[in-house]
Structure 1
Amino acid sequence: MDIMGAQYMKNEIEVTGKTVDEAIENGLKKLNIDRKDAEIKILDEGKSGLFGLMGSTPALIKISSKKEGSLSDSDVEEKNSFDISDEQKSAVEIVSKILHLSGFDAEVSVSNTLLGACINVSCKDSAILIGGQGQTMDALEYIVKLILSKKVGKGVKISLNIDKYLEKRNEKIIKKAKELEEKVKATGEAISLKMPSNERKIIHMALRDSEYVETISEGEGEERKLIISPKKA
């Protein structure tokens, strides 16, 4: 089950480069378009810093295609387009700004997945941003949610995905779900687990078509649990 496999169409992306020209070139390649077909907005011209090293920041641009339905070669063949909401645009801008000011040369875009809106980051220094077991990425996601929630005046549901790390983590969760399914099937006894809401949702989706078990969530707040029990005849 490809839970994170997004079917989407990119409306616009924010791209960085050592110079504005390099950022534009990166954006054109990503969207697979010519410059005459691009709408470009320079967000930050960047600076070289002392001796071209200390204090340098990359240039940052926003680029989109004038052509409807223009897609990059890296996108999957079948896609459903979606309108990027103001909330999603703000999320992209927040992530781009944080990474830009931190000196990371990154490309940021948004997609819709079965788990909701996802902010995708492509970066050469992804290991630093992901951290051990994704802890740095999770912390950055939390900060982005706080900033965005304050800006829009309500709670928001978005996820941050750096260099497809979420796919790898979700594969492990799905594998765990299948192992738990087999355990419940073999013992005939229910299993109760405390875990983050996003992991509960993935397990719910992974086992929703199971012939042998059913899943429910019970409790409130931090005490909310996932229960996997034998399916009633």
Structure 2
Amino acid sequence: MKKIVVSGKTIEEAVKNGLRQFGVTEDRVKVTVLEQPSKGLFGLIGAKEAKLELELIPDALEEAVHFLQDVFRTMNLKVTIEQKKERDGILFNLTGEELGMLIGRRGQTLDSLQYLVNIVANRYSNTHLRIVLDAEQFRERRKKTLEDLAIRLAERVIRSRKEVILEPMSPQERKIIHAQLQDHSKVKTYSKGEEPNRRVVIALR
């Protein structure tokens, strides 16, 4: 928590001085009055300025960005974070070199980082925030791969008349498989098992 002590002829002036130092608006600070202003004798002698303590209220998205920047710094990676508001949350798109290290095998590192950054952000938010991490359009490419896989495996189930059990996937990836086959006339999908080993099953209707 960042705190500063500021002063001014009035409480309002002291608050403005503090906001100027922080570079934020009044809704981002908690104000504690340490000393009330007084005019002193004859309005001149012994006059005291107002003294306040301003505490900066953390911004959830700023804290999320700081967390990621610390991670990248530790990994010695130069990464730029671009924020974009989407229908179901905030997209943090990562650009830079050696992003394969951040994506990991089938996006597992990216998913883990996304899980952690959501914990950090929601610690400082009054409402639930959903942050999606992406790098080099990995999410879109992975979605296409899973949709194609779902179609191929559905055809195998129809030919063999035997159900297929996929490898363990994250909830987001399982959702892609379910969505791709939800209107299929010959196969159905369901999930079984416990996290993190929960799997999609494709079976005949």
What is the TM-score with the length of structure 1 in the denominator?
0.49
Q: Does the residue aligned with 2:94 lie in a helix, a strand or coil?
A: strand
Q: Verify the 8 A CA contact 2:89 2:129 in the aligned structure 1.
A: no
Of 160, 166, 179, the match for 1:187: 160
- Which amino acid in the other structure matches residue 119 of structure 1? F
Q: Does the residue aligned with 1:198 lie in a helix, a strand or coil?
A: helix
Distance, in Å, in 2 between the alignment partners of 1:88 and 1:216 is: 35
- Which amino acid in the other structure matches residue 140 of structure 1? L
Pairing of 1:1-233 with structure 2 (within 5 A): 91=64, 94-95=67-68, 98-99=71-72, 104-112=78-86, 117-152=90-125, 157-193=130-166, 194-222=168-196, 224-231=198-205
What is the TM-score with the length of structure 2 in the denominator?
0.54
> What residue ranges of structure 1 are gaps of 5+ in the alignment?
1-42, 44-85
- Which amino acid in the other structure matches residue 187 of structure 2? V
- Which amino acid in the other structure matches residue 221 of structure 1? E
Q: Does the residue aligned with 1:221 lie in a helix, a strand or coil?
A: coil
Q: Verify the 8 A CA contact 1:145 1:158 in the aligned structure 2.
A: yes
Deviation (angstroms), 1:204? 0.8
Q: Does the residue aligned with 2:189 lie in a helix, a strand or coil?
A: strand
Deviation (angstroms), 1:169? 1.9
Query: Identity of paired residues, percent?
Result: 27
- The number of equivalent residue pairs is 146
Q: Deviations over 1:72-113 (max 9, x none)?
A: xxxxxxxxxxxxxx8667645644565478662414213436
RMSD (CA atoms):
3.5
Q: Verify the 8 A CA contact 2:81 2:92 in the aligned structure 1.
A: no
Distance, in Å, in 1 between the alignment partners of 2:128 and 2:70 is: 21
Task: Assess, with a 3 A threshold, how the Cα gap between structure 1 residues 95 and 177 changes in structure 2: closer, same or farther.
Answer: same
Deviates more, 1:196-205 or 1:90-99: 90-99
Greater relative contact order (Cα 8 A, min sep 6): structure 1 or 2?
1
Q: Deviations over 1:12-38 (max 9, x none)?
A: xxxxxxxxxxxxxxxxxxxxxxxxxxx
Distance, in Å, in 1 between the alignment partners of 2:99 and 2:89 is: 22
Distance, in Å, in 1 between the alignment partners of 2:118 and 2:179 is: 24
Deviation (angstroms), 1:197? 1.4
Deviation (angstroms), 1:182? 0.6
Deviates more, 1:170-179 or 1:220-229: 220-229
Q: Deviations over 1:37-91 (max 9, x none)?
A: xxxxxx9xxxxxxxxxxxxxxxxxxxxxxxxxxxxxxxxxxxxxxxxxx866764
Distance, in Å, in 2 between the alignment partners of 1:221 and 1:129 is: 22
Q: Verify the 8 A CA contact 1:174 1:202 in the aligned structure 2.
A: yes
Q: Does the residue aligned with 2:162 lie in a helix, a strand or coil?
A: coil
Deviation (angstroms), 1:181? 0.7
Q: Verify the 8 A CA contact 1:177 1:206 in the aligned structure 2.
A: yes
Deviation (angstroms), 1:158? 3.4
Q: Verify the 8 A CA contact 2:79 2:94 in the aligned structure 1.
A: no
Deviation (angstroms), 1:213? 1.3
